[in-house]
Structure 1
Amino acid sequence: MAITKESIEFHGTLSELYKLAKEGKIKTNLQGSHTRPCKFWTATKVLSGIKNAVILTHGPSGCAYGVKQAYKLTNCRNSGAAYEPVVSTNIGEKNVIYGGEKELVGALKEVDEKYKPDVIFAATSCATGIIGDNVDEIMEKMEPELNAKLMSIHCEGFSGEYRSGFDLVFKQIVKLMDKPTIESRTEMENTVNIVGGKMGAERTEVDTDVKELIRLIKGMGAKVNSVIAGDCTLDELKKAPSAAVNCALCLDIGYAIGKSMEEEFGTPINSTILPYGIAATERWIMGAAKYLNMEEEAEALMKREYAAIKDEFEESKKFLEGKIAIIEGHDAVKCLSIAHMLKSDFGMRPIIFNFHPWSTEARQTSIDYLLETGLDPEILITKGTLAFGKYESMKQTEDELLAFLGGIDSKSVVYFGSSLSFPNIPLVDLNAILNRPRFGYRGALKVAKCINTALSYSSRPRSSLFKKIVFPEDSGLASAQALTPKLSRDLPDCTVYAHRRRRGQCMMN
């Protein structure tokens, strides 16, 4: 490979990058153009996954708008439930000076009477966090007067980075849970919780990753009490500590609530990397089986599942061993999990491309686990990823990768990332696999098939019109990553790839 030193920020192993970050020898802060959602958004995202709950945003009305549109409305639609509102105390300039406690009291009464929720979460915004409204005292005083359970969530955006919002809410909702009894533990001795869900209800029409994990648990002969917090109820939360084990959906996010429940109630946690591929899936299954006393049943399940995909999987695997896998590093936990799968299951050489050094601090749990399992993937960070601008699919980072590879051999390189990049490289976009799951044995087979398809079709010539639209001259690649997944699916190509026009304006106008 031809390495061009002037375009390389870091090239080495994950453990080497981790060491440099800890020693302060590589910049780990996010530049302004690469910012994440604020703590308020991530906190309310998890809260939106609790059924028959109202999120009362204590702040200006605009804070509630995005949460309602992005999370609660979508979650209710996915689950087929009636719309559960996101309400705002709608404080204004006078409240910022004199306080908004009166508005909070009035809103709590109105929400309890009008919507009759099981629980009301009062989520503080930046404004109310700065003026210091005594939300805790108000909630404690009002609870005896109302039917709903009340809980305050201090998630003002300035008080922590985006990851802290997930951890905060998962630790808080542990307070809604009941202490296990001998009877409740006996009743739920064959039951698990899947913890760390932050997407709300699963789509009813899609065979999702979470549904696949539930299917595997049931295939072992066990039960699932709840996915927390993915369309779970207050009653399910109360019973959750009595389950035999908490299985983390995501190692990082699931660990926060799993650890809190272990410390508070003694509920054990099965925490592994995302179950992409066979090796990670079997580790996830056996981790649960150990606490369920179902090791034999788990072994039988794994044999059945592998037998169902063996012929096709092994045939696909023949073509993949030894090939290079370039993995976009923008989603840290996912790219680490994919690297684990490609190395362990397929014998490929994974290179994680533009894994931002910031992720070494934000994702320490996953990195520690990966290194402990003996996998230390290769990391490539180019100058473009630390440049001002949107780095997911900048022309600069594309050129830097091509320079690093010294060109592309379509028979030996597979690119895992956005399908808007590199039309001449065999490309697998796991986000574009709509006929999921991507987890488990069936997911491993699906990934193998996608890689084979990518290898088979990569040599097909693209039309000049396609190249002109997707790669306009003298400009970077406009990325649908700038839009939400829903919007990027619904918008026609002309709105995504519009050249020298405001995004969203059709090229035909």
Structure 2
Amino acid sequence: MSNSIDNSIEFYGKLSELYDLAKQGKIKTNLQGSHTRPCKFWTATKVLSGIKNSVIITHGPSGCAYGVKHSYKLTNSRNSGSKYEPVVSSNIGEKNVIYGGEKELIGAIREVDKKYEPDIIFVATSCATGIIGDNVDEIINNLKKDIKAEVMSIHCEGFSGEYRSGFDLVFKQIVKFMDPPNAELKKELSKSVNIVGGKMGPERTEVDTDVKELIRLIEDMGAKVNAVIAGNCSLSELRKAPSAAVNCALCSDIGYAIGKEMQTEFDIPLNSTILPYGKSATEKWIKGAAKYLDMEAEAEALMEREYNSIKKEYEETKKHLEGKMAIIEGHDAVKSLSIAHMLDRDFGMNVVIYNFHPWSTEARETSIDYLLETGLDPKILITKGTLAFGKYESMKQTEEELLAFIGELDSKSVVYFGSSLSFPSIPLVDLNAILNRPRFGYRGALKVAKCIKTALDYSFRPRSFLSKRLVFPKGSGLVSAQSLTSKLGQDLPDCTVYAHRRRGKCMMS
């Protein structure tokens, strides 16, 4: 390794080594001011939006509601099947910041209850109303006798905690809607599960693909899903949730948090694994559910059927992937760890997670602990650009550092897992661009395997000049896929992007 390359590396080693350094305070784990994350208010409203027939009143300036609605695509009621937008605002202004916004909140609650007749009204406090100290709880208590809907306050001022705390806060709060289990309901739901840790709400993304695939697997095993919490669940489903046989965590971090809360409160068991990308993780997830459903035989039969349905094509495709190098964009820590598990265990690829910020070692301890306990300890590469000014997952500097680290690129043996608009010279797979097919389960495993093979097979076709310019505009060192218009963002091609005559088309049949 040359001195210039060596000088650009912040860390290169195993995940366990990075984890230990972070715990000992020997590597910087704080995010720079330029590496911004959503605030507690945003993540709280993201989870709340997944509860059907509920309305979130964001108690604050109108811009707070606008931001979450447009970022999470909550403006179109057709996506959720609701008759209204799920997020509204009390719309306070300058005078309210001085004299209080309680009158505006009372009016908003009354109007929403009368106009929309929701099952639940959530009042989510913003930074402004948190600072001025509006007594939201007292307002709600005084109004309850006049309001048909359940009303719950969510104190999620953006300054009051980091983004992860918004998820945990809401999941703990909605447990208060749940009824203690009873014998009659437990008998009725003895072959039912809850999928916990869903946070996409009514968006047309994971709930419509990945979660639906997990529901299909549960139902094909002969069981039922009581609720996806909080990805498109109802108040009645929440009330019954503690009587289900088991909670199956969708995510080993967020799903684990609500799962442990319900386990403590209601003694309902928790099946927590890593995100079910690939065959191995899917089978662990299914077996974990079957154990508490007393359906081990049915689970074995399901797994055999599912595997046989993809076996021929899957095994043939896998031959082309074994021994290849996979570089995984690491800014989404949980997803990158889950993908690493799949590529290593299922496809026999050599995995390096790139740009895994040391901050993630503190934010994602549950997932890291789980991965290390399974015996998987992937390599982590962190370069100086990851910790520099700018958006750390998509800087020009980090592309140059990665390419320098790889050296002479053999495009037939290296594949990059990340954004379709990053690292144009490397064969690339973008799992976030798969909007119409599941990425979880057996079908997802086959889909991902075929995407990797396609990227490698067509690596001789360079990415287009236009694509390169979209990533790195002339004279600018920084860029993000998020800088595209919403239309361009929605039209990202499925899995892979290539140039020449088929520019912007997926090469897969």
TM-score (norm 2): 0.92
CA distance in 2, matches of 1:329, 1:353: 5
Residue 423 of structure 1 deviates from its aligned partner by 2.9
Aligned 8 A contact 2:53 2:82 in 1: no
Name the amino acid aligned to 1:384: G
Give the letter aligned to residue 41 of structure 1.
W
Q: What runs of 5+ residues in structure 2 fail to find an aligned partner?
A: 494-509
The alignment yields a C-alpha RMSD, in angstroms, of 2.2
DSSP-derived class of the 1:33 partner: coil
Spell out, residue by residue over 1:36-65, the C-alpha distance to the aligned partner (whole angstroms, 9 max, x if none).
011001101111111111111111222122
More moved, 367-376 vs 193-202: 193-202
Higher mean displacement: 95-104 or 328-337: 95-104
Which is further off, 113-122 or 327-336? 113-122
Distance 2:355 2:206 in 1: 34
Alignment of 1:45-444 (within 5 A): 45-71=46-72, 73-74=74-75, 76-201=77-202, 203=204, 208-444=209-445
Q: CA deviation at 1:139?
A: 1.3
Query: Structure 1 unaligned runs (5+)?
Result: 493-509
Aligned partner of residue 27 in structure 1, secondary structure? coil
Larger mean Cα displacement after TM superposition, 418-427 or 20-29: 418-427
Q: What secondary structure, in the 3-state scheme, does the structure 2 residue paired with 1:251 have?
A: coil
Task: Measure, in 2, the Cα distance between the counterparts of 1:178 and 1:197.
Answer: 20
1:170 Cα deviation after fit: 0.5
Give the SS at the match of 1:388.
coil
Which secondary structure state, in structure 1, belongs to the residue aligned with residue 12 of structure 2? strand
Matched with 2:9 is: 8
1:428 Cα offset (Å): 1.0
State the partner residue of 1:38: 39
Residues of 2 paired with 1:427 and 1:112: CA distance?
49
CA distance in 2 between partners of 1:140 and 1:223 (Å):
37
Deviation of 1:83 after TM superposition, in Å, equals 1.8
Q: Deviations over 1:341-389 (max 9, x none)?
A: 0010011111000101111111111111111111111000000010001
Which region of structure 1 is more displaced relative to structure 2, 72-81 or 82-91? 72-81
- For the structure 1 residues 119 and 470, does the alpha-carbon distance in structure 2 shift closer, same or farther, using more than 3 Å as the test? closer
Cα deviation, 1:447-476, whole Å, max 9, x if unaligned, reads: 111111111100124566665666666544
Please state how far the C-alpha of 1:130 moved relative to its aligned partner: 1.1
| 1:206/1:434 contact within 8 Å kept | no
The residue type equivalent to 1:460 in the other structure is: R
2:506 aligns with: none
C-alpha distance after superposition, 1:179-214 (max 9, x if no partner) = 110001001000111111111136399961111100
TM-aligned CA deviation for residue 406 of structure 1: 1.4
Measured in 1, the distance between the counterparts of 2:106 and 2:324 equals: 62
- 2:206 & 2:377 partners in 1: Cα distance? 37
2:424 is paired with a residue whose SS is coil
Q: Equivalents in 2 of 1:74, 1:435: separation in Å?
A: 21
Instruction: Give the residue type in structure 2 aligned to 1:67.
Output: V
- CA drift at 1:282: 0.3
Change (3 A) 1:413 1:40: same
Output the CA distance in 2 between the equivalents of 1:466 and 1:202: 27
After superposition, the C-alpha distances for 1:68-114 in whole angstroms (9 at most, x for unaligned) are 33347357322333223422222222322232222222222222122
Distance 2:206 2:9 in 1: 44
- Are 2:420 and 2:492, in contact at CA under 8 Å, matched by a contact in 1? no
Equivalent residue letter for 1:282:
E
Most deviating of 194-203 and 270-279: 194-203
Shift of 1:483: 4.8
Question: 2:34 corresponds to which letter in structure 1?
Answer: S
Q: Would you say the 8 A contact 1:194–1:224 is kept in 2?
A: yes
In 1: Cα distance, 2:159 partner to 2:208 partner:
37
Judging changes above 3 Å, is the alpha-carbon distance between structure 1 residues 114 and 481 closer, same or farther for their aligned structure 2 residues?
A: closer
- Are residues 411 and 73 of structure 1, via their aligned partners in 2, closer, same or farther at CA, if it must alter by over 3 Å? closer
Q: d(CA) in 1 for partners of 2:422 and 2:385?
A: 15
**SS of alignment partner, residue 34 of structure 2:** helix
Contact 2:40 2:161 in 1 (8 A): yes
Sequence identity (%): 79
Say which SS state the counterpart of residue 74 (structure 2) adopts.
helix
